Amino acid sequence: MNIGSKDLNLLYVFHVLYQEGNASRAAARMALSQPALSHKLNRLRDELGDPLFVRAPRGLTPTPRAHALAPQVQRLVGDLDAFYDACAGHDYLARSEHLHIYTTDYMEQLLLPALLPRLRSQAPGVVLVTHNTRGELPREELEKGTCDLAIAGFYENLPDTFHQQRLCSEDFVVLASRANPRIADGLDLDAFLACEHLLTTLTGDLNGVVDRALARQGHKRTVVAGLSSFLAPSRLVRGTELLLTCLRSVAEEAVARDSDLVLLPVPFTLPQVDMMQIWHARTDADRLRRWLRQQIQEVASAISAAGPAARKPRVRRG
């Protein structure tokens, strides 16, 4: 293939059309008129020998050929963008931007104490804004660009245009008051079911991972309150017979803060939770956002590495 006969700008047209899935939005993003975009798309179709994008009720739908080409085109465009940034001497850490992360209060507590100092020292023009993820993937916000990252442990069935990276994994433990008479002899399944429970629910659904695991064994617990926070429920356990099944780091923070509280193992099997950061293909090659994702990954890795030494279960003594 003679690259001299090719218009590499057409790869950028493909890249933007694939990300936007809409001709009007793609034209606006590239500062092109609709006729100019149509002309470029027709040239691209001729060059690649495929329709690439066909009309659909809600915009444009990529063909199988377009889906197959998209990852490679994305890498090429990203590499070219980074190349020209470097040639221009552009310091992406000097940019003044607001970066938006949709996450939970739990992840804010876990990541921000180490992340914010990094941002202030290395990218002082960046303002970090966090939003409550409300228990659902902020798909529309990621697609529109009003969300740069989504971080949580419950996102599933991601579209092909989304990327993900595992930050850390955590297991579940039970948080209880030392004064709870039902756990005087330890926490077995009978004691667990005899107590009343709190849970975190961002959607209002009270049938959580714990309840589904119990149901598979033919059991049901008594839930007396569902709260929209991962951190607040731990404050309600003190001096009561309530139990809170939560992630280990949440329980450890609560135990460190309040000597009345104790951390106990869950008396049945629960899967670990993988905390993931999710982003849209549109921001994958952006150097500032790539740097932010790297900082978050490094912070999460440091927390995980320190975990085994810092996360020794508290043994309740009668």
Pick the CATH number of 172-265 from 3.40.1190.20, 3.40.50.150, 3.40.190.10, 3.40.50.1100: 3.40.190.10
pLDDT value for 91? 82
Q: What does the pLDDT average to over 131-141? A: 90
| CATH number for the segment(s) 93-169+273-310 | 3.40.190.10
Q: Could you read off the pLDDT of 273-288 as tens digits, one per residue?
A: 999 999 998 888 888 9
Q: Could you read off the pLDDT of 97-115 as tens digits, one per residue?
A: 999 999 999 999 899 999 9
CA distance 305 to 299: 10
Nearest to 281 by CA among 292, 272, 289: 289
Q: What does the pLDDT average to over 161-168? A: 92
Q: Write the CB contacts of 44 (distance below 8 Å, at least 6 apart in sequence).
A: 10, 13, 14, 52
Q: pLDDT band at 309, cuts 50/70/90? A: very low
CA distance 39 to 45: 10
pLDDT value for 255? 93
pLDDT value for 313? 37
Where does CATH 3.40.190.10 sit in the chain?
93-169+273-310, 172-265
Q: Could you read off the pLDDT of 228-257 as tens digits, one per residue?
A: 888 888 889 999 999 999 999 899 989 998
The CA-based diameter of the chain, rounded to the nearest angstrom, is 81
Q: Write down the architecture of domain 3-87 according to CATH.
A: Orthogonal Bundle (1.10)
Mean per-residue pLDDT over the chain, rounded: 88
pLDDT value for 82? 74
Partners of 246 in the β-ladder: 173
Q: Could you read off the pLDDT of 186-236 as tens digits, one per residue?
A: 899 999 999 999 999 988 889 999 999 999 999 999 999 999 888 888 889
Question: What is the full DSSP assignment across 164-211?
Answer: EEEEEEE-EEEEEETT-GGGTT---HHHHHHSEEEEE-SSS----HHH
Which contiguous run of DSSP H or E holds residue 162?
A: strand 162-170
Where does CATH 1.10.10.10 sit in the chain?
3-87
Q: Residue 83 pLDDT more than 90?
A: no
Partners of 242 in the β-ladder: 196
How many other CB atoms are found less than 10 A from the CB of residue 102? 24
pLDDT value for 89? 52
pLDDT value for 316? 38
pLDDT value for 90? 60
pLDDT value for 243? 97
